[in-house]
Amino acid sequence: MKIFRIGCLFIPITIFYLSCTVPKAVQSTSIKPAPATFANQTDSTNSALIQWHQFFNDTCLVALIDTALKNNVDIGIALQNIEIAKSNVLIRKSALLPNINIGGGAGVEKVGRYTSQGAGDASTEITPGKEVPDNLTDFNFSLQTSWELDVWGKLHTAKKAALAQYLATVEGKNFVVTNLVAEVANTYYELLGLDNQLAIIKEAIQLQKNELEVLKVQKEAAVVTELAVKQFEAQVYNAESQAFEVQQNITVAENKLNFLLGRYPQSITRATANFMNQIPTLVNEGVPAQLLNNRPDIRQAALELKATQFELQVAKLEFYPSVNITAALGLQAFKPRYLTKLPASVLYNFGTDVAAPIINRNALKAAFSTANAVQIQAMYEYQKQILNGFVEVKNELSNINNLQQQFEFKTKEVNTLTQSITIASELFKYAKANYLEVLTVQRDAMAAKMELIAVKKEQLKAVTNLYKALGGGWQ
Q: What is the 3-state secondary structure (H, E, C) of 142-160?
A: EEEEEEEECCCCHHHHHHH
| Residue partners of 64: CB distance under 8 A and separation at least 6 | 184, 188, 257, 261, 268
What is the model's pLDDT at position 42?
56
Residue-range domains of the chain with CATH: 2-96+150-321+356-469 (1.20.1600.10), 98-149+322-355 (2.20.200.10)
Region of residue 189 (phi > 0: left; psi between -120 and 50: alpha; otherwise: beta): alpha
- What is the biggest distance separating any 2 CA atoms in the chain, rounded to whole angstroms? 141
Number of Cβ within a 10 Å radius of residue 52: 25
Number of Cβ within a 10 Å radius of residue 162: 23
What is the model's pLDDT at position 5?
53
What is the model's pLDDT at position 122?
77
Cα→Cα distances 118→97, 108, 114, 128, Å:
42, 14, 6, 19
> Phi and psi dihedrals of 48, rounded to 5?
-65, -20
Of 54, 33, 37, 36, nearest to 472 by C-alpha is 54
From first CA to last CA, the distance across the chain in angstroms is: 68
Task: Output the tens digit of pLDDT for each of the chain's 475 residues.
Answer: 554 455 555 555 555 555 556 777 776 666 777 777 776 555 678 888 999 999 999 999 999 999 999 999 999 999 999 999 999 999 999 999 999 999 989 999 888 888 888 777 777 777 777 777 878 888 899 999 999 999 999 999 999 999 999 999 999 999 999 999 999 999 999 999 999 999 999 999 998 888 888 878 888 877 778 888 888 899 899 999 999 999 999 999 999 999 999 999 999 999 998 899 888 888 888 888 888 889 999 999 999 999 999 999 999 999 999 999 999 999 998 888 888 888 888 999 999 988 888 777 888 999 999 999 999 999 999 999 999 999 999 999 999 999 999 999 999 999 999 999 888 888 877 777 777 888 888 889 999 999 999 999 999 999 999 999 999 999 8
List of long-range contacts for 95-100, beta carbons under 8 Å, 24+ apart: 95/148, 95/155, 95/158, 95/159, 96/150, 96/155, 96/156, 96/159, 97/147, 98/145, 98/146, 98/147, 98/325, 99/145, 99/146, 99/147, 100/143, 100/144, 100/145
CA distance 53 to 55: 6
CA distance 167 to 455: 40
- For residue 35, is the peptide bond before it cis, meaning its omega torsion is within 30 degrees of 0? no
Q: DSSP string spanning 298-329?
A: HHHHHHHHHHHHHHHHHHHHTTSPEEEEEEEE
List of long-range contacts for 5-13, beta carbons under 8 Å, 24+ apart: 11/354
What is the model's pLDDT at position 213?
83
- Are 173 and 79 in contact, with CB atoms under 8 Å apart? yes
What is the model's pLDDT at position 4?
46
- Are 211 and 438 in contact, with CB atoms under 8 Å apart? yes
What is the model's pLDDT at position 243?
96
What is the model's pLDDT at position 324?
94
